[in-house]
Amino acid sequence: MAGALEGIVVADFTRVLAGPYSTMLLGDMGAEVIKVERPGAGDDTRHWGPPFDPAGRATYFEAINRNKTSVAIDMTNAEGLAQAHELATRADIVIHNFPPATAKKFGLDYDSVTATNPTVVYAQITGFGSGLGAAMPGYDLLVQAMGGLMSVTGPGPGEPTKVGVALVDVITGMHATIGVLAALQHRTVTGEGQCIEVNLLSSLLSALVNQASSYVSGGAVPGILGNAHPSISPYEVYQAADRPIVIAVGNDGQFAKLCDVVGLDGVASNDKFATNTERVANRDELKVLLLEAFGKNTADHWWKALTAAGVPSGPINSIDQAFAFAESLDLKPIIDIEQDGEVRRQVANPISFSKTPVEYKSAPPELGKQT
């Protein structure tokens, strides 16, 4: 069966992470994605390593560029610009992460593209918008810092820490994909294209969800709580006899079951801990009781016992353990793409379609192979 976006052509002028992640998702859903790269250099992430795969390719680039062809176009000369414009003219989707001034210089701004392709779905990704922040460089770490994410992440107050993956780029790429798909549906109904703008800062502020709402709606500025949750308890990491375990209790019923399993008789009915609001207010006292209880056995023992009782819990896995866990649940988190006599391993797309399944047509392309 064909993918949901079969027949859709994407002119992909993006590089690094947010844009390439978005266009890979579109390619997984069946779109033809033509990735435009600089001759001799290509996407920056082709050179971001180690680690490299056995053939010497940067695993960073491999993560976000399957289901694409690569064309090497030098847009600093007239011939290259003509090639770029031709591609933009026949594409259903044009997506880039140039600074707005650069897009205009290349004749790839929205007005220029729609002059020859009026029904195009046009998406631009920036760091800080196309207005007063247009000239500011958009890098994930900068936005994690300037957008507030680091202020609520870390081991404790005064120790702001970045998230261990470029999460802002990933979230922005997802938002770009959602916008593109909505615009495609609008075009199907009306025949009209449109311009979509997504920026890293706004994407992060939206993705801060409850932490952002605590300020916007409640006037409270959240701080760092380490692994604890600002509004739920117990919802954090606890040390068992051998290693840490995560407990994610979301309601009073789950808390009562937790107390039964770990042997904290009478604690669930204690006025200090009977409701979530009281548990949050008395989280330090509750943590002492739970640490003493968890210290009497191993993390695996508690995980199995708590899971059987319906209490959300689990060990803290390394990346390899996380994949093994997913495989044990038959989630098939890794796929193999056979190409040119070589097997290339990829992380599977997490979306399952009953009618238009995800496609793995090609591994990440060699630079300029389809020029």
Please check whether residues 133 and 189 belong to one and the same domain: yes
Percent of the chain at pLDDT exceeding 70: 100
> Of 44, 109, 169, 340, which residue is the catalytic one?
169
**pLDDT, tens only, 133-164:** 999 999 999 999 999 999 999 999 999 999 99
C-alpha 4/C-alpha 98 separation (Å) is 28
Please check whether residues 181 and 76 belong to one and the same domain: yes
Please check whether residues 190 and 256 belong to one and the same domain: no
**pLDDT, tens only, 71-106:** 999 999 999 999 999 999 999 999 999 999 999 999
**pLDDT, tens only, 270-327:** 999 999 999 999 999 999 999 999 999 999 999 999 999 999 999 999 999 999 999 9
CATH of the domain at 140: 3.40.50.10540
Contacts of 253-261 with CB under 8 Å at 24 or more apart are 254/310, 254/311, 254/312, 255/279, 257/306, 257/309, 257/310, 257/311, 258/234, 258/306, 258/309, 258/311, 260/309, 261/302, 261/305, 261/306, 261/309, 261/311
Average pLDDT over the chain, rounded to an integer: 96
Name the nearest CA neighbour of 120 among 195, 190, 178: 195
> Quick one: pLDDT at residue 93?
98
Please check whether residues 169 and 248 belong to one and the same domain: no
Q: In which band, very low, low, confident or very high, does the pLDDT at 371 lie, cut at 50, 70 and 90?
A: confident
Please check whether residues 132 and 268 belong to one and the same domain: no
Please check whether residues 149 and 295 belong to one and the same domain: no
pLDDT higher than 90, residue 2? no
CATH of the domain at 277: 3.30.1540.10
Please check whether residues 29 and 149 belong to one and the same domain: yes
Please check whether residues 302 and 339 belong to one and the same domain: no
> Quick one: pLDDT at residue 340?
87
Q: Is 117 helix (H, G, I), strand (E, B) or coil?
A: coil
Please check whether residues 96 and 62 belong to one and the same domain: yes
Assigned domain for 324 exists: no
C-alpha 148/C-alpha 153 separation (Å) is 9
Please check whether residues 192 and 256 belong to one and the same domain: no
Name the nearest CA neighbour of 154 among 227, 235, 229, 234: 227
Q: Which carries the bigger pLDDT value, residue 370 or residue 199? A: 199
Assigned domain for 35 exists: yes
Our count of domains for the chain comes to: 2
Q: Full-prediction pTM beyond 0.75?
A: yes
> Quick one: pLDDT at residue 1?
73
Please check whether residues 267 and 192 belong to one and the same domain: no
**pLDDT, tens only, 321-369:** 999 999 999 999 999 999 888 999 999 999 999 999 999 999 999 999 8
Assigned domain for 63 exists: yes
Assigned domain for 33 exists: yes
Instruction: Specify whether 169 is catalytic.
Output: yes
Q: What's the domain range around 258? A: 235-239+244-315
Assigned domain for 325 exists: no
Mean pLDDT (whole number) for 114-136: 96
